[in-house]
């Protein structure tokens, strides 16, 4: 004997069971969808920064191959170095030209210079060019040391200690890796006369070419504290350096 729901025609009962089943299915799907949409999205993984030691070794090799470069040296504060400002261009052959402002025996002097071979042509704000030897200039400041393979930037990078990549950021619109490193006193002093301490430097290495774009060198302490910043531009740009007219 079949038992039926009272008041429900036999033709309606299968439809009712189907409706109930569909309702349960719809409710289940809605619950799953709600849980899925509520699940937080995982943020994209940040690419790991390159190893600082690898970056500086590669940069040292890239700098050793440079044929010419433009440079600017600026100081902020009162770092204990005679050079206050310098800018110019130089070649792999150690010829250079530019301007320099430095403290000489307590007096701020500014001069233009042209360095060709063993002779330096220089002049102050007034008067004509005079000459001195390369050795005499080197006692004050030798810009040609920048590309010198034995004591220049390439040597500085290859001897840097405890390098650590800190960030990727632009230098004048050029993507670069910022690397913290310790530089020894003799190596820095060969490029910036007057440095008498090891330097905890920040170095910016071009992500595309591995060349050094910028160096920040904090120096001194107390009233004689400051920062020397060196910028490098115009890599391998053709440069013609000629002696000025007498």
The span from the CA of 100 to the CA of 87, in Å, is: 7
Per CATH, which fold does 52-233 belong to? outer membrane lipoprotein receptor (LolB), chain A (2.50.20)
The span from the CA of 202 to the CA of 164, in Å, is: 10
The span from the CA of 51 to the CA of 97, in Å, is: 36
The span from the CA of 182 to the CA of 146, in Å, is: 18
The span from the CA of 69 to the CA of 230, in Å, is: 12
**With contact defined as beta carbons under 8 Å apart, do 108 and 84 qualify?**
yes
The span from the CA of 177 to the CA of 35, in Å, is: 42
pLDDT values of the chain reduced to their tens digit, one per residue, 246 residues:
444 444 545 544 544 554 444 455 445 545 544 554 444 566 666 679 999 999 999 999 999 999 999 999 999 999 999 999 999 999 999 999 999 999 888 889 999 999 999 999 999 888 899 999 988 888 888 999 999 999 999 999 999 999 999 999 999 999 999 999 999 999 999 999 999 999 999 999 999 999 999 999 999 999 999 999 999 999 999 999 999 986
The alpha carbon of 216 is separated from its chain's Cα centroid by a whole number of angstroms, namely 9
């Amino acid at each position: 004997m079949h038992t039926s729901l009272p008041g429900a025609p036999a033709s309606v009962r299968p439809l009712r069971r189907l409706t109930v089943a569909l309702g349960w299915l719809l409710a289940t799907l809605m619950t799953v969808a709600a849980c899925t949409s509520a699940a937080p999205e995982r943020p994209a993984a940040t690419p790991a920064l390159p190893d600082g030691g690898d970056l500086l070794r590669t940069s040292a090799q890239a700098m050793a191959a440079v044929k010419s470069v433009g440079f600017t040296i600026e100081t902020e504060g009162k770092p204990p170095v005679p050079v206050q400002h310098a800018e110019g261009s130089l070649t792999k052959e150690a010829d250079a030209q530019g301007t320099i402002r430095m403290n000489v025996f307590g007096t701020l002097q500014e001069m233009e210079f042209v360095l060709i071979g063993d002779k330096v042509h220089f002049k102050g704000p007034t008067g004509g060019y005079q000459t001195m030897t390369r050795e005499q200039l080197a006692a004050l400041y030798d810009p040609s040391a920048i590309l010198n393979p034995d004591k220049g930037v390439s040597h500085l990078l290859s001897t840097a200690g405890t390098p650590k990549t800190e960030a990727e950021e632009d230098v004048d619109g050029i993507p670069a890796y910022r690397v913290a490193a310790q530089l020894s006193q003799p190596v820095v002093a060969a490029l910036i006369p007057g440095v008498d301490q090891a330097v905890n430097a920040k170095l910016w290495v071009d992500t595309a070419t591995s060349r050094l774009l910028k160096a920040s060198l904090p120096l001194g302490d107390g009233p004689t504290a400051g920062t020397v910043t060196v910028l490098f531009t115009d890599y391998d740009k053709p440069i013609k350096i000629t002696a000025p007219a007498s």
